[in-house]
């Protein structure tokens, strides 16, 4: 009798969904509280932009060492510890209020330090997510799995932004940091207790492991290549490839739009469209929900095309290129500044398109050897999050000099177009890039293995 495969990988996916929602709640709560913090501490637009970007400076700088650690020690301990730490630093941000510090300068410095530490602690997030998906899921399920956990960042923002806005309006901005930090600490402890890789999980049977292995996950030839060691010559080879740089540029472009919605978006609704904090929280729901739909549609379409026999290159590149091209429509909002409903509708379409194109990590898992995903994923995350450094500051400077958001929207549209061109001109065939030395070693291994025939 054939053993029915377990579906433990779905419970793993659910855990990734929850932790991603917590991750983005802790990133976005500063955006919700931004106007109140700016008013309380008399910050300029440039200073607020610096505070928005502080997270990303240290998040990006931590990517390569964190990616290396991930490839060496695995996801369970690194990721679980990171969840607890970033949630603790989130909670501590609430202590930066005037109740604990006598000067605005001291409070501002406390916020900067905590935000930087959150950036360091959150650095393992997406490299870990990518490695876990590549380990637990066969290739034909990988885009949908990535889209599912990625959708959490949008549904979490859609559902939690109104809640956080209400908390800020009723109990002050400090309470939003206390509550979101506490939630993350509890889940981080749960992760450390529950999560295991497939080979160590007591909940997965041999039939499910066979599905995973045949699909390129744990136990496959690709998964075993390199024996878990990071070969820096192999890393250099990957970094010299044109496709790799196309992925890096596209990740920067896609993240530029995302970081606008994570930082200046609520401020734009309040000061650009003149909505109250409560109405801004409600208005923010629609773009976030549309983004959730976009990421699910993009991942589902990619896997559908793959199952229907289309090439992996076509199945991955089509959603990315269509999404980035449509993201450029965000510039149309400049013509409807006096019509909040139309403006929010345009922003919703643009954010849907941006999320629809969110297959960068899927393509990374398709083209990078498994044992290098953490390290190369660190480089990918650096480029993605350079936009989180650059964009908030550029927008802050634009606002300080022009006192409107029009040039900021043109900037975001132009960067999205750059991402489309990167995929069109640089990203080639979507296939694993095997460094020459490893290719020879793998062929030798196959040659020396006796045939069963």
The DSSP-derived string for 296-320 is: HHHHHHHHHHHHTT--HHHHHHHHH
The boundaries of the domain holding residue 284 are 8-439
Distance of CA 208 to the CA centre of its chain: 28
Per-residue pLDDT, 443: 45
Q: Could you report the per-residue pLDDT of 181-195, keeping only the tens digit for each?
A: 999 999 999 999 999
| Assigned domain for 451 exists | no
d(CA 353, CA 358): 9
Question: Which has the closest alpha carbon to 126: 361, 382, 370?
Answer: 361
The H or E element that residue 47 is part of is helix 45-61
Q: What is the pLDDT of residue 438?
A: 60
Check residue 439 and give its pLDDT: 56
Whether residue 431 contacts residue 315, with contact meaning beta carbons closer than 8 Å, is answered with no
Q: For residue 447, is it within any domain?
A: no
Residue 250 sits in a domain whose CATH number is: 1.20.1250.20
Angle between helices 139-171 and 340-356 (to 10 degrees): 150
For residues 413 and 9, what is the distance between their CA atoms, to the nearest angstrom? 37
Whether 320 is in a domain gets the answer yes
pLDDT in tens, 31-84: 788 878 888 888 887 888 888 888 878 887 887 788 778 777 778 888 999 999
Which H/E stretch holds residue 84? helix 75-93
Number of domains in the chain: 1
- With respect to residue 1, please indicate whether it lies within any of the assigned structural domains: no
* Residue 449 pLDDT: 36
The Cα–Cα gap between 224 and 446 comes to 13
Which of 332, 360, 357, 359 has its CA nearest to residue 346? 332
Residue 399 lies in a domain: yes
pLDDT of residue 229: 56
| Spatial distance between the Cα atoms of 205 and 224, rounded to a whole number of angstroms | 20
Q: Yes or no: say if 412 and 392 are a contact pair by the CB < 8 Å rule.
A: no
**pLDDT value at residue 83:** 94
Instruction: Note the pTM of the prediction, 2 decimals.
Output: 0.68
Give the distance between the most distant pair of CA atoms in the chain: 80
CA distance 329 to 322: 12
Instruction: Identify whether 362 is part of a domain.
Output: yes
366 lies in a domain?
A: yes
Q: Does residue 444 sit within a domain?
A: no
pLDDT recorded at residue 448: 40
CA distance 122 to 24: 10
CB atoms within 10 A of CB 276: 13
| Residue segments in the chain with a per-residue pLDDT below the cut of 70 | 1-2, 98-99, 101, 215-230, 437-453
pLDDT on residue 67: 73
**Any idea of the CA torsion for 403, 404, 410, 412, to the nearest 10 degrees?**
80
Between CA 341 and CA 329 the distance in angstroms is 16
């Amino acid at each position: 009798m054939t053993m029915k495969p377990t579906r433990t990988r779905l419970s793993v996916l659910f855990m990734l969904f929850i932790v991603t929602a917590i991750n983005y709640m802790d990133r976005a709560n500063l955006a919700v509280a931004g106007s109140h913090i700016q008013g309380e501490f008399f910050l300029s637009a440039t200073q607020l932009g610096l505070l928005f970007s502080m997270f990303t400076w240290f998040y990006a700088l931590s990517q390569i060492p964190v990616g290396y650690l991930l490839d060496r020690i695995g996801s369970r301990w690194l990721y679980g510890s990171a969840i607890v730490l970033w949630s603790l630093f989130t909670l501590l941000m609430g202590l930066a209020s005037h109740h604990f510090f006598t000067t605005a300068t001291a409070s501002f410095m406390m916020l900067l330090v905590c935000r930087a530490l959150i950036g360091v602690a959150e650095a393992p997030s997406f490299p870990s997510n990518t490695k876990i998906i590549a380990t637990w899921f066969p290739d034909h399920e990988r885009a949908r799995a990535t889209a599912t956990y990625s959708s959490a960042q949008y549904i979490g923002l859609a559902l939690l932004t109104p809640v956080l806005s209400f908390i800020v309006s009723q109990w002050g901005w400090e309470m939003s940091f206390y509550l979101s930090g506490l939630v993350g600490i509890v889940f981080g402890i749960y992760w450390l207790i529950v999560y295991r890789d497939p080979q160590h999980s007591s909940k997965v049977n041999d039939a499910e492991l066979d599905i995973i292995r045949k699909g390129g996950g744990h136990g496959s030839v690709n998964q075993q290549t390199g024996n878990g060691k990071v070969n820096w010559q192999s890393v250099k080879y990957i970094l010299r490839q044109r496709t790799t740089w196309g992925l890096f540029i596209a990740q920067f472009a896609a993240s530029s739009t995302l970081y606008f919605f994570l930082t200046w978006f609520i401020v734009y609704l309040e000061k650009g469209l003149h909505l109250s904090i409560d109405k801004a929280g409600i208005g923010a729901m629609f773009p976030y929900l549309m983004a959730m739909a976009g990421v699910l549609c993009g991942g589902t379409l990619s896997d559908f095309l793959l199952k229907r026999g289309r090439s992996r290159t076509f199945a991955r590149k089509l959603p990315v290129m269509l999404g980035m091209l449509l993201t450029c429509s965000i510039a149309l909002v400049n013509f409807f500044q006096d019509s909040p409903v139309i403006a929010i509708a345009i922003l919703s379409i643009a954010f849907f398109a941006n999320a629809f194109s969110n297959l960068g990590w899927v393509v990374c898992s398709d083209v990078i050897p498994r044992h290098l995903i953490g390290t190369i994923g660190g480089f990918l995350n650096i480029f993605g999050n350079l936009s989180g450094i650059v964009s908030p500051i550029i927008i802050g400077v634009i606002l300080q000099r022009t006192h409107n958001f029009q040039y900021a929207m043109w900037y975001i549209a132009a960067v999205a177009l750059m991402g489309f061109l990167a995929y069109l001109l640089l990203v080639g065939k979507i296939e694993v890039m095997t460094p020459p030395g490893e290719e020879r070693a793998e062929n030798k291994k196959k040659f020396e293995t006796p045939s069963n025939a």
